[in-house]
Chains A and B, each alone.
Chain A
């Protein structure tokens, strides 16, 4: 997916670029509103991540202008203001959602997904692998016409595997993707979700293999 990040803090922007790249997303960074406007004119984005306090103006004004352009690109506001009054105001101005800094990346992902789902989807939300059609937005897989809904953690886990088929993911790595850092869960919890996914992938060529001592990987062979 292609994101536009409007954020004046270069460090945060770089970190976000890095982080989103890990999941295979492209992120253009605009440091101020003027740059953001010029980006919007030449490219189209699946989603805009907008900071409120910017060197050349208030993000809320951008939001207003954006909505009046009848541009339907969804906007998620990254706000440092946590007061409820501010948050409510943002939604009234036309933001699709907001997330308060600092944020859990999984939550940002979840919110992006929710917004996109509400807005009717991004262009490349369908992935295909070994006879499995995976709609990450709808949260479904279909194997030979049989549609199977995925639960949230199953979906996120499958996303990790689908992003790099054949790559081995360690248990701790997968845990970080699945559980929040505030949750204390044992590594064995991963096995539960891997088990569930395997069950749902039955009937297709796709399989999640256990690589003893290293972790798991997705393969398409029988």
Chain B
């Protein structure tokens, strides 16, 4: 049987989808933080530049008709307080550079007072942010326009931006990992009821077809309802077919029993040897067919049970003793003595006791069948590295045939044509032995007549 291949796991899909959402959110977080922080840093620089330019503008004065400037120390030092960027300034009065770097570009238009003009440009091989502030100074009764340009390189800003980027990348990744972990946990917890249900169904024995009663979330109700419905139908079908088999067996076996009993009664009353022979053969035919049918059913049952082995702990000695006790009357009919040599102490074993009983019954049944009257069958259990349950009879043995082949279906010994049998007995024993990781040992006795069949089972 090919194992069922899951097509797409819910958990994986949940995790993947949640992780994707987390990734998108983390990316959005990263981009927003970087943009906002970058803007904030940029605004900070602009504000300081504007403050610097304004403080320079405030320091412009007119003296004896001449415009002059007392450059405030703080105007430039404040720019050095946040970063180690290069600083340039220029004061233009009436179109002439009053002081500063006269190659620093001036704004195309005279900036309105109280409205600083910001621009980003290349100056002396580096990108700078510049601000221009306009101021009108009265000098000698004349209004003179002064423009103050302050510029600063942006490496500090770049450093801040890249630091913020790195931090937000780290936080973003952390956020993503955390969210992924959470989504894993969420998926786990969401699927917990499903797993619980699966486990509760898995734990059941092969014949347990009761409806599922585990506590389940609403979403799973239709599925469970369908499952329960299916199990109910299966249970009904199984019960029906079991009944059918039982009914069929009953219908067939009861008439057979009638025939057999009547034949026996008739046999008591008939004296003619031909009639008697005919009746005996009829009885034999009845026995043979009922035995074969029985073993076929047994074999089917054994095969089914070994496919779904139900393991319980039981005492191997007790099961063996029970089996012997049940077959004692059968053995007695031929004056066959069952000699038990089974240790008194418990012999614990884990397996299916019904299967074991079936195997032991088949071995013993065979032994009785092939034993002569007034003989002994010795049943022993030895505990060494294995359990070994041996049935030694004093019958005809297995002749010269290959004993290994005897466990095959419908294989029979070469010297048993006169005994009723289907050839399934040892096959059943073999199947049971294998299902319990054991084996069947068949050998002809070396001392004395008969054979010995052993069931070898592992110690647990």
Contact = CB atoms under 8 A, between A and B. Distances in A.
Please say whether chains A and B are actual partners in one complex.
Answer: yes
Interface of A: 9, 11-12, 15-16, 18-19, 22, 52-53, 78, 80-86, 88, 97, 100-107, 110-111, 113-114, 151-153, 170, 172-173, 176, 180-184
Contacts of A102: 253, 256-257, 259-261, 286-287, 290
A85 B297 CA distance: 11
B418 A111 contact: no
Interface in B33-64: none
6 contacts: A84-B301, A85-B301, A101-B253, A106-B333, A152-B335, A176-B264
A103 B301 contact: no
Nearest to B267: A176
Given A22-B268, A176-B268, A182-B420, A80 B332 contact: no
B357 A181 contact: no
A97 B335 CA distance: 20
Nearest to A112: B329
A107 B329 contact: yes
A195 to B, nearest CB: 13
Contacts of A172: 271, 273, 276
B386 interface: no
B250 interface: yes
Interface in B321-373: 326, 328-330, 332-335, 354, 357-358, 361, 373
Contacts of A184: 418
B31 interface: no
Interface in B251-300: 251-262, 264-265, 267-268, 271, 273, 276, 280, 283-284, 286-287, 290, 293-294, 297-298
Given A11-B258, A152-B332, A181-B284, A82 B294 contact: yes
Contact of A12 (B252, B258, B298): B258
A182 B330 CA distance: 13
Contacts of B329: 97, 107, 110-111, 113-114
B265 A22 contact: yes
Nearest to B272: A172
Contacts of B273: 172
B20 interface: no
Contacts of A84: 298, 301, 354, 357-358, 361
B357 A88 contact: yes
A152 B333 contact: yes
Nearest to A88: B354
A206 to B, nearest CB: 22
Nearest to B279: A181
A101 B294 CA distance: 10
B103 interface: no
A19 B301 contact: no
Nearest to A111: B329
The 9 A-B residue pairs with the shortest CB-CB distance, nearest first, are A15-B261, A102-B257, A80-B250, A80-B253, A110-B329, A101-B257, A82-B294, A102-B260, A102-B256
B354 A85 contact: yes
B236 interface: no
Contacts of B264: 19, 105, 176
Contacts of B122: none
Nearest to B361: A84
A107 B257 contact: no
A80 B298 contact: no
A12 B273 CA distance: 26
Contacts of A106: 333
Nearest to B280: A181
Contacts of B301: 83-85
Contacts of A88: 354, 357
B110 to A, nearest CB: 109
A81 B374 contact: no
B118 to A, nearest CB: 94
B216 interface: no
Interface in B382-440: 418-420
A80 B357 contact: no
Nearest to A115: B329
Contacts of A103: 257, 260
Nearest to A156: B333
Contact of A180 (B252, B257, B333, B335): B333
Given A82-B298, A85-B354, A102-B253, A9 B287 contact: no
B52 to A, nearest CB: 100
A31 to B, nearest CB: 13
A60 to B, nearest CB: 12
Contacts of A170: 271
Nearest to B336: A152
B192 interface: no
B247 interface: yes
A182 B284 contact: yes
B298 A83 contact: yes
A41 to B, nearest CB: 27
B246 interface: yes
A173 B273 CA distance: 11
